[in-house]
Chains A and B, each alone.
Chain A
Amino acid sequence: MNEEALATHRQELRRGTIVLACLLLLSRPNYGYALLDALEKSGFDVDANTLYPLLRRLEKQGLLTSEWNTDDSRPRKFYVTSIDGAALADTLKRDWHDLDSAILSLKDDS
Chain B
Amino acid sequence: MTATSSPTDRYVAATLRSLPERQRQDIEAELRALIADAIDDRREAGVDADSAERQVLTELGAPARLAASYSDRSLHLIGPEFYIDYLRVLTVLLSTLVPLWFVIVALVSFADGSPADVAFGGALYSALETAMSIAFFTTLVFAIIERVSAVRTKRTATWDPSSLPEVRDKRDRFSALIGGVIFLAVIVVSLVLIQTVGAVEGPDGARVGPVDSGLWESGVFYIALLIAIASIPFHFLAYYTGWSTLNAIANTVFVALFAVPAVWLAASGRLLSDDYFRAVGWPEGADVIAVVVIVFILLITASDAIGGWVRASKKRRTR
CB distance from A34 to the nearest CB of B (A): 8
Q: Please, how many residues of chain A have a CB less than 8 angstroms from a CB on the other chain?
A: 18
The answer to whether the Cβ of A75 comes within 8 Å of any Cβ in the partner chain is yes
- The docked-state distance in angstroms from the alpha carbon of A56 to that of B68 is 13
Pair A48/B60 contact, Cβ less than 8 Å: yes
CB <8 Å contact, A50 and B33: no
Is the Cβ of A75 less than 8 Å from the Cβ of B33? Answer: yes
In the complex, the chain A residue whose C-beta lies closest to that of B61 is A49
Q: Is the CB of B33 within 8 A of A49?
A: no
- Size of the B side of the interface (Cβ < 8 Å), in residues, is 19
Contact yes or no, B34 A52, CB < 8 A: yes
A44 in contact (CB, < 8 A): no
Given the interface contacts A31-B33, A56-B70, A76-B33, does A47 sit within 8 Å of B38 by beta carbon?
no
Chain A residue with minimal CB distance to B15?
Answer: A49
8 Å CB interface, B41-73 against A: 41, 59-61, 65-66, 69-70, 72
Contacts of B72 in A (CB 8 A): 57
Confirm or deny: B37 has a beta carbon within 8 angstroms of a beta carbon on chain A.
yes
Task: Return B250 CB to nearest CB of chain A, in Å.
Answer: 35
Task: Using A33-B41, A47-B59, A49-B61 as known contacts, say yes or no to A74 and B33 having CB atoms under 8 A apart.
Answer: yes
Q: How far is the CA of A31 from the CA of B61 in the complex (A)?
A: 20
A77 within 8 A of B: yes
Asked if B34 and A33 make an inter-chain contact with CB atoms under 8 angstroms apart, the answer reads: yes
Report if B36 contacts A (CB, 8 A): yes
Chain A residue at minimal CB-CB distance from B26: A77
Cα distance A48–B55 when bound, in Å?
12
A-B contact count (CB 8 A): 50
B38 touches A49 (CB 8 A): no
Q: Judging by beta carbons under 8 Å apart, are A74 and B36 in contact?
A: yes
1-48 of chain B: CB within 8 A of chain A: 26-27, 29-31, 33-34, 36-38, 41
* Distance between A63 CB and nearest chain B CB, rounded to angstroms: 15
Cβ B31 vs Cβ A33 within 8 A: no
A32 at interface (Cβ–Cβ under 8 A)?
yes
* Cα A31 to Cα B31 with chains together (Å): 11
A16 at the interface (CB under 8 A from B): no
For residue A43, which residues in chain B have a CB less than 8 angstroms away from its CB? Answer: none
* Residues of A58-86 contacting chain B, CB below 8 A: 68, 74-77
By a CB distance below 8 angstroms, the chain A residues around B59 are 47-49
Chain A interface residues toward B at CB < 8 A: 31-34, 37, 47-50, 52-53, 56-57, 68, 74-77
> Would you mind naming 14 contact pairs between A and B with Cβ atoms under 8 Å apart?
A32-B30, A32-B34, A32-B37, A33-B37, A49-B66, A49-B69, A52-B31, A52-B70, A53-B69, A53-B70, A56-B70, A75-B33, A77-B29, A77-B33
- The 8 closest A-B CB pairs, nearest first, are A33-B37, A53-B69, A77-B30, A53-B70, A32-B34, A49-B61, A76-B33, A49-B60
